[in-house]
Amino acid sequence: MRQLMQAILDFYGFKSITAENGAIGLQLAKEHIPDLIICDLAMPELDGYGVLKAVREDAKTSNIPCITVAPELGVEYVARLFANSRLRRAPVVKDTLLGIISVSDLLNKSDFVEKPKSNFELYCEENPSAPEARIYED
């Protein structure tokens, strides 16, 4: 997955650096101060949780946005992660590249991002027997 993500980012003009484990990745992040860190939760030496904790605790790296991924994650989860990043386009990956989705499409036209519910919708869900809830369903 590391090589695939690097190829995608390089193709779209992003400079990327990869590491074979979390400890090396953390060292590279401190040396190069990247714009974004993409990190696998199940890395050897230092897992993704350890990397994120160390990144957040270091003043030099604490403001770097981080995306965590795992090989078993589905397309929707990866798309949501990229939608919350500052990248212009989001790779959609599940074993192989399935496509590229623009972040604006994700945010504006897609079911990947849940639309926030109104207070009234939340009230109706919490109080299904209320008269207003029955009117709302009709």
What is the phi/psi pair of residue 27, to 5°? -60, -45
- pLDDT confidence band for 109 (50 / 70 / 90): very low
Checking if the pLDDT of 36 tops 90, the result is no
User: Domains (ranges, CATH) in the chain?
Assistant: 2-112 (3.40.50.2300)
Q: So what's the pLDDT on residue 138?
A: 46
Q: So what's the pLDDT on residue 73?
A: 59
Instruction: Give CA–CA dist 103/108, Å, rounded.
Output: 8
Q: What is the average per-residue pLDDT within 88-99?
A: 48
Specify whether the CB–CB gap between 3 and 86 falls below 8 A: no
For 45-61, how does the pLDDT look when each residue is reduced to its tens digit (9 = 90+)?
Answer: 888 888 888 988 999 98
Q: So what's the pLDDT on residue 91?
A: 52
